[in-house]
Amino acid sequence: MAVAPPSCCLVAFPPRAKDGLVVFGKNSARPRDEVQEIVYFPAADHEPQSKVECTYISIDQVPRTHAIVMSRPAWLWGAEMGANEHGVCIANEAINAREPATETEALLGMDLVRLGLERGSTAKEALDVIVALLEEHGQGGNYYEDADSCHSFQSAYLIVDRDEAWVLETVGRYWAAEKTTEGVKCICNQLSLTTKIDAEHPELRSYAQSQGWWTGEDEFNFSQVFSPADEHLNCCAGKDSLEKQEESITVQTMIDTLRDKASGVCIDSESFLTTASVVSVLPQNSSSPCIHYFTGTPDPSRSIFKPFIFVGDIKLVPKAQSPCFGDNDPAKKEPRFQEKPDRRHELYKAHEWARAVIASDQEQGRQLRKTMLELEKQGLEAMQEILTSSDPLDPTEVGDLFYDCVDTEIKFFK
């Protein structure tokens, strides 16, 4: 069984989170050399009977899809994490379960992240979209750009909006979900749901009984029933970090948590690296805009979180997008992944230099990191002004926001 990458997804609700803000975050742990890109797609209308080509399979398109922004491994269609124009955020985790994930190509968990964002205007709507598509198409296929071995996993999701969060955990086509509206919630690379289940596949329990995993007499505990026999269930390190905070949780608290290597939230191991991170702020007051901070680069402790706000006219950011290889992409041709093209975008290449300088731990590296954090701080302070302002947001002022931040960062590195 392949080792599931140790990503971490977190959400904190008021009053644990400060100023009436829901704060969401994810570190995406992936193979060390994988590139993630930040992509924006505007809302769109689609022709009747049209199809959408996901990573491995095509499915029926819906009449209209929402505007989305997402961070994704550059070779696939879906996303590791992202948000839509309605303030819905979704992140997923690869997990292992008692039932091995199928290698047969179907929808990836990451495809379902994007489909949930494109089709759900609330967290619950997005959950309903994901489980319906899971039932119809199943999940399966290689999670990595690897011709030598198929790494397939089951999936868990953290689905959040301004009012509530849903933890959705899936095993094949079966699933269970828990709703939360308070405190801190975390998912990592293990099943976590226990006896509090607010929605589930109608045949979940009978399936567990048919496999001999549950007698039907004991209380039904999802993670005990479906986790691999040799797995020791651990509490998420990120949740531990946030719960130890004596003060209210802010954007900065979440960023600091995602940067924490000592706790294991930020991964930098032989096999895996935190290849991208996101923090989103969802004000419970619907008159304030949601703000999404993406790195688009590896290792949040050596990256800048850059803000994005949905408005009508967003300026695209090609410098944070990987080269497109069209139908010649080795990920689209069968047999897949026979070559590995250079998917580095301009921001990634500029950041490679910065990471090398900081890793050298010399005076130049220390000064560079200090300046990077100062750039980030300026962005956070400007966004805080937007959140606390009583004036309506001027769309013309923020349509270029993420573009300008990426451009500034690249110029700074050069």
* 3-class SS string, 284-331: CCCCCCCEEEECCCCCHHHCCCEEECCCCCCCCCHHHCCCCCHHHCCC
- Clarify whether 236 is annotated catalytic: no
Beta bridge pairs of residue 372: none
Tell me which of 9, 236, 266, 405 is the catalytic residue.
9
- Two tokens, residue 307: 């803000």
φ, ψ of residue 396 to 5 degrees: the values are -70, -20
Per the rule left: phi > 0, alpha: psi between -120 and 50, beta: everything else, 141 is left
Q: Report the candidate in 28, 118, 110 with the shortest Cα–Cα distance to residue 69.
A: 118
Q: How far apart are CA 265 and CA 246, in angstroms?
A: 19
For tokens 């590195």, name the residue. Answer: 413
Beta bridge pairs of residue 154: 95
Strand order in the sheet with 291-294: 184-187, 8-12, 21-31, 272-283, 291-294, 306-308
Cβ(138)–Cβ(106) below 8 Å? yes
Q: How far apart are CA 403 and CA 320, in angstroms?
A: 9
Residues in contact with 8: Cβ distance below 8 Å, sequence separation at least 6, in sequence order: 26, 27, 29, 186, 187, 188, 236, 237, 238, 258, 265
Encode 202-221: b = buried (16+ Cβ within 10 Å), e = exposed.
Answer: eebbebbeeeeebeeeeebe
Active site residues: 9
